[in-house]
Amino acid sequence: MPTFLTQLARIDTDRAVALAREELGERGSWPSPVRLEGLGLCVLNAVFSTGNQSDAVVRVLGRYCARRDEQGADPKRDGPDELIAEIERCGGPDEFADELDNHWRAWQSKAAPYKTTVILGAAQLLKGSDVQTSDDLKLAMASADEHNRLKSGWLALPGQRSGLTWRYFLMNSGMPGIKADRMITRWVSRAVGRTVKPTEAEAILLAAAERLSVDANHLDHAVWAVQRGRR
């Protein structure tokens, strides 16, 4: 990396660290990041969360959990197999959307498939790699070939090319990362004094987390909460 770019990256990190110390308060007061036990809910939360308000996502996940509770199941432990079975029980992804009373699209077009179609594809992708639990996922991610296969398969799903939901899925399962959505990107842009792209925001906040000696997921969620409060 050229010297001037290295210096710019260092300055950006310094500014992000300074704003974090100013706005986030004592580390013990930071809100806890999302951590879900079952990969079924990890998939649902990751796909539904992008472009939608968190309160609305919580309500949709609540409807899913209520359906599974009625069946005598434990939705918090659902893996890809259980999620696929529930979608099939409804009659398919469109009918699953009806049952959840949610018809969010994979992108902003009436021609786009419902996000439930993406969710089914993601669950089938994981099932195809025998990934049913967080431990299975960690083992798969330790293999470069399997990591690349899962990531490329996820990014090939309808409307998922940016990789945002892939990163958030991994974070939901407990892996470190930054979900550079609108809130995160706006906060980092404020910190550095210019508009940054999501990839820049991710890199800057990861560097800031390392500088602050904090978990990236924890910093991500604290920043997101502060920025959300500024709307």
Tell me the pLDDT of the chain (231 aa) as tens digits: 555 457 778 999 999 999 999 999 888 889 888 789 999 999 999 999 988 888 999 999 999 999 999 999 999 999 999 999 999 999 999 999 999 999 999 999 999 999 999 999 999 999 999 999 999 999 999 999 999 999 999 999 999 999 999 999 999 999 999 999 999 999 999 999 999 999 999 999 999 999 999 999 999 999 999 998 876
How far, CA to CA in Å, does 70 sit from each of 48, 60, 63, 67, 183? 22, 16, 11, 5, 36
Which pTM value belongs to this model?
Answer: 0.87
Burial class (CB in 10 A: 0-12, 13-18, 19+), 101: exposed
Provide the residue count of the chain: 231
Residues 226 and 23 sit within 8 Å (Cβ to Cβ): yes
